Amino acid sequence: MKNVEPYLGSRSCPYIDDAVRPSIKITYQSARKLAHLDLKQDLPRNFVKLFNRAILYLLWHQAYAIAARGVRSPYVQLSRVSQSSGLATLTDKDSGSGHKTRLVWMPPELVKHMQQTENCVRQLRISHRLKWDADRMPLFFLTKNLKPRVISPKSIEELSHEFFPFPANTSRRVMRFMLLEAKMPSEYVEMYLGHWGDRREPWGKWSSFDCSAYLSDLRLRLPMILGKDLGLKCPSNKRKRKAVHAE
């Protein structure tokens, strides 16, 4: 029976049509509304809920793009991304040795979304004098009394539980499934997820892994999955002009 459960086999592997896309659509609506707000003016009553869901939407956009793990302060800020290539490094599972550092690629639509939202949050922080170390992390959630709150797996899951009751790292499982469905070679998928052990590193001295071929493949498949299959895009901040009718 359809829609009885929003997952298949495991509670960490949700259905794309019944769980993933609807949750993304919910957060997108908030992101679109936030993009149209004048943050220098008084904020609407539902601003905290709207803001938090808009931030969650960007976190998901990036998480699905780079297969982010469920860690504290997971967002890779724009200043760490190459403007020319969209590449960045990510160490979300490491003991400090750098062994698990992986190369990630941010599609142009995501980079545009990151820039727009970081600018929006900066304007909010300045206009309403929010105390926050923006150099350490430009994004945050808000509490009910308009205080910044650190982004963590717990805060993400609390915020999304009502419409997406899954762990914060669910995007990794979804993207693994979708990339394999798109016929991406399994060794590329493992590279994308950052799965390698000792002497199996794709960047190792004696490795035969072709990183340029991997990135070419990723650049071909990833935007299609994010945009067409999942509905992840940069929300428009342009207001529609009202038509002027001649009398």
pLDDT tens-place values along the chain, 247 residues long: 345 465 555 556 799 999 999 999 999 999 999 999 999 899 999 999 999 999 999 999 999 999 998 888 899 999 999 999 999 999 876 566 667 788 999 999 999 999 999 999 999 999 999 888 877 889 999 999 999 999 999 999 999 999 999 999 999 999 999 999 999 999 999 999 988 777 777 878 888 889 999 999 999 999 999 999 999 999 988 765 544 444 4
> Nearest CA to 15 among 27, 5, 30, 1?
5
Global pTM value: 0.90
